[in-house]
A = this chain, B = another copy of it.
Amino acid sequence: MNNSHIQTVPLEKAYRLITHGPTVLVSANDGQDTDVMAAAWACALEFSPAKVTVVLDKSTKTRKIIENSGYFALQIPTLKQLEMVYSLGTLSLYNAPDKLEQSGVQLFKFADQEIPVVEGCAAWILCELIPEPHNQQAHDLFIGKVIAAYADDRVFRDGHWFYHEVSEEWKSIHHVAGGHFYTIGEAVTVKDTE
């Protein structure tokens, strides 16, 4: 094996090696405040009952609102929303009270649901927080039980993404560093499973 190309990665940059999952928006309301933030570190946790994880830094107002309310939504934004996502990920409601207006966010609610969500996304995952004080304090790790999920059928239907059939503006965006993202790419299929 030719190892001449293998270089050490500084530990503080190691996260970049797996951080290019789909960037999500996290929204919440506690009766007093509403916030939406961008998060790169969200992940599925369980099929059934459906659960997800999301890492929420202690510096974010969204985290405080979720701790107060016990509910949050993850949503999958699209390339069309790139500037909005970046703005939501860099401004903080703590020092920019008009963050949502500045970022151009339009909120709505699904019928019979109280969690505010962002218009124009490809999908929405509504969650009830499973309180886990150790994970939240020690790891900034929040676990949500999925209580409802929705998707835009132009890009997700019958349980499958159709990123390979839509225009670029519908693609998911995957944060890598600073203002740099990748879009989701081409569909590939393992032989014998086509």
Residues of A that sit less than 8 Å from B by CB = 1, 5-22, 24, 40-53, 55, 74, 76, 79, 82-83, 86, 106, 108, 119-120, 123, 125, 134-135, 139-141, 143, 146, 148-154, 156-157, 159-161, 163-164, 168, 171-174, 176-194
Could you tell me the distance in whole angstroms from the C-beta of A65 to the nearest C-beta in chain B?
21
Closest to A74 in B: B18
Asked whether B185 lies within 8 Å of A180 as measured between CB atoms, the reply is no
Q: Given known contacts A159-B10, A188-B181, is B53 in contact with A141 (CB within 8 Å)?
A: yes
Asked whether A46 lies within 8 Å of B146 as measured between CB atoms, the reply is no
A185: chain B residues within 8 A (beta carbon): 171, 182-186
Which interface residue of A6, A146, A183 has the most chain B CB atoms within 10 A? A6
A183: chain B residues within 8 A (beta carbon): 185-186, 188
Asked whether B22 lies within 8 Å of A18 as measured between CB atoms, the reply is yes
Could you tell me the distance in whole angstroms from the C-beta of A42 to the nearest C-beta in chain B?
6
Q: Given known contacts A20-B21, A179-B189, is B9 in contact with A123 (CB within 8 Å)?
A: yes
A41: chain B residues within 8 A (beta carbon): 43-45
Asked whether A49 lies within 8 Å of B186 as measured between CB atoms, the reply is no
Could you tell me the distance in whole angstroms from the C-beta of A153 to the nearest C-beta in chain B?
5
In the assembled complex, the Cα of A16 lies from the Cα of B22 at a distance in Å of 11
In the assembled complex, the Cα of A190 lies from the Cα of B10 at a distance in Å of 26
In the assembled complex, the Cα of A1 lies from the Cα of B186 at a distance in Å of 30
Q: Given known contacts A11-B149, A12-B50, A190-B82, is B17 in contact with A156 (CB within 8 Å)?
A: yes
Asked whether B164 lies within 8 Å of A16 as measured between CB atoms, the reply is no
| Interchain CB contact (< 8 A) of A14 among B86, B125, B182 | B125
Asked whether B186 lies within 8 Å of A179 as measured between CB atoms, the reply is no
A177: chain B residues within 8 A (beta carbon): 159-160
Q: Given known contacts A12-B47, A182-B163, is B17 in contact with A149 (CB within 8 Å)?
A: yes
Could you tell me the distance in whole angstroms from the C-beta of A6 to the nearest C-beta in chain B?
5
